[in-house]
Amino acid sequence: MLFRRYSLLPAAVFAAALFLPLAGQAQTAKPEMRESCPGLVATDAPRASLASLRLTALAADQVRISYAGHSTFLIESPQSVRIATDYNDYVRVPLLPTIATMNRAHDTHFSEHPNPAIPHVLRGWAPAGTPARHDLQVQDVRVRNVPTNIRDYSGGTNRHGNSIFVFEVGSLCVAHLGHLHHTLNQQQLDEMGRVDVVLVPVDGSFTLDLEGMMEVLQALKAPLMIPMHYFSLYTLQRFVERVRAQSWEVEWADEPSVIVSRATLPSTPKILVLPGR
């Protein structure tokens, strides 16, 4: 098996108040940010297909997404660039990543001492409350970020403490929402551009509440959504019931890995549940 199950430490308890989106007027996104993530495929496209856990080669238009647990995924490109999301000391991908992204919420989302052999470590926050800004090209992968706010331990606002990382790989744009604590304003949506696959935290308490997260997903209009950060079957099922009320399709996968391309994106919104915690 490619993955082992990991036992996660409980997340620190935050105050219940939600953040407001970043202040300021919405601005027009740069043209490349709108054009880099093209829209949906034709309505008769086949569904996303589950991948075997063996390391099969990827075609030039494909991306492999594997769930390690909590909010950590391994994303692999056709040229073998490996990305570990929310890299931390408790949940690890089994292969050394080329790129590790991190968020500041608490220590299941970042590491103070990432493996020094990782070529690119991208922190989703910057010192003194300034927004982190990343736009990195590594072979066939482009990684960029959109800063958001998070709560701090006293219930206040930690401005720019989280980043939504957007990965342009194969023919797709994959967005990892990180430890998102508020809905997105138009400027943030414009910076993200069109998203094909979104990795979404669905716990409904430590991150954004369930209705707020539904608002984010409706605004993003991604055809494929993969839940993460759900701690228990109860919280996952609560999210699933909510999206079914939205008439979105739900598929429960048997394996924690899927290969997706533009040709295999679903034609209508779909939740794909990969096994994990």
Domain ranges (residues) in the chain: 59-273
Higher pLDDT, 191 or 20: 191
Q: What is the pLDDT of residues 246-259, one digit of tens each?
A: 999 999 999 999 99
Average pLDDT, the chain: 80
pTM: 0.80
pLDDT of residue 179: 85
pLDDT of residue 136: 97
Choose the weakest-confidence range: 30-44, 52-66, 156-170, 202-216: 30-44
Contact status, residue 202 vs residue 235, Cβ threshold 8 Å? yes
Task: Give the strand order in the sheet containing 249-252.
Answer: 135-138, 141-151, 157-169, 172-176, 197-201, 224-228, 270-273, 249-252
CATH superfamily of 59-273: Ribonuclease Z/Hydroxyacylglutathione hydrolase-like (3.60.15.10)
10 Å Cβ neighbour count for 32?
12
Choose the weakest-confidence range: 82-86, 117-121, 158-162, 190-194: 158-162
Instruction: Average the pLDDT over 181-193 and give the result.
Output: 90
Q: What percent of the chain has pLDDT over 90?
A: 56
pLDDT of residue 149: 79
Helix (H) or strand (E) holding 173: strand 172-176
Pick from 41, 225, 36, 222: which is nearest to 135 by CA? 36
